[in-house]
Amino acid sequence: MFDPALSTAPFEAAAAGWRAARLSPNALATVKVLQVAAAGSKSKVPVTLPSGEGRVMAPGLSSVITKAVVEVFAPRFLTNPAVVWISESGHKVVEKHDALLHSLGVKIDPGKLLPDVILADTAADLLFLFVEVVATEGPVHEERRNGLLKLITEAGFRPEQAAFLSAFQSRTHAAFKKVVASLAWGSFAWCFSEPDHLIAFDGLRPAGVSRLRDFVPLTRPE
């Protein structure tokens, strides 16, 4: 692969083979997202659902972050992920799992409340993850969290079966700096630039935790 005589096409083929042989599926997904992001704002964004089906979203950072949520975040942090809903700017619904929404009794009125992404973890006790994609603004703040939570409690699910995520490009991006102070307690933040890390705005103190050291497992030297 490092042969200086390789032309562009053979080099790209060699690089793809190297990545396939040495990178995990999650790492490969991250590479694909970064490649789409590097392509610029004029290219349409292909999104591969957990089922293997494909969708195409409009050009732009919001679509790139959505792609990262579906292809990178979901397999990293959910056990058995499914995409229930994807929308993009202009109130366009890209993916809507009508059969699943109907069977679960979840009713979404796009005129009142339009989530960016809804994921479901179908392993064991069903978990809904409501995702707000933040390219400029529009994170999960308190009012937004309460409105999204109402969607599933009205369908008969328990509040603890809902989780809330604000997704960003990076912690250094202007959008993150702009809205981080408004993120709701009881929600999470994730940046596709650091895909293995999840920021928890817990708001609750776990049982038995009363001091900072209770959060930090200290290894005592023998």
> Could you read off the pLDDT of 134-182 as tens digits, one per residue?
999 999 999 999 999 999 999 999 999 999 999 999 999 999 999 999 9
Note the Cα 171 to chain centre separation in Å: 15
Q: Looking at per-residue confidence, does 116 or 206 come out higher?
A: 116
CB 72 within 8 A of CB 29: yes
* CATH superfamily to which 41-203 belongs: BsuBI/PstI restriction endonuclease, C-terminal domain (3.40.1350.80)
In the chain the first and final C-alpha atoms are separated, in Å, by: 48
Report the range of poorest mean pLDDT among 12-26, 108-122, 127-141, 177-191: 12-26
* pLDDT of 40 higher than 80: no
Integer Cα distance of 200 and 185 in angstroms: 8
Q: pLDDT > 70: what percent of the chain?
A: 72
Global pTM reads 0.79
* pLDDT of 204 higher than 90: no
Integer Cα distance of 207 and 90 in angstroms: 44
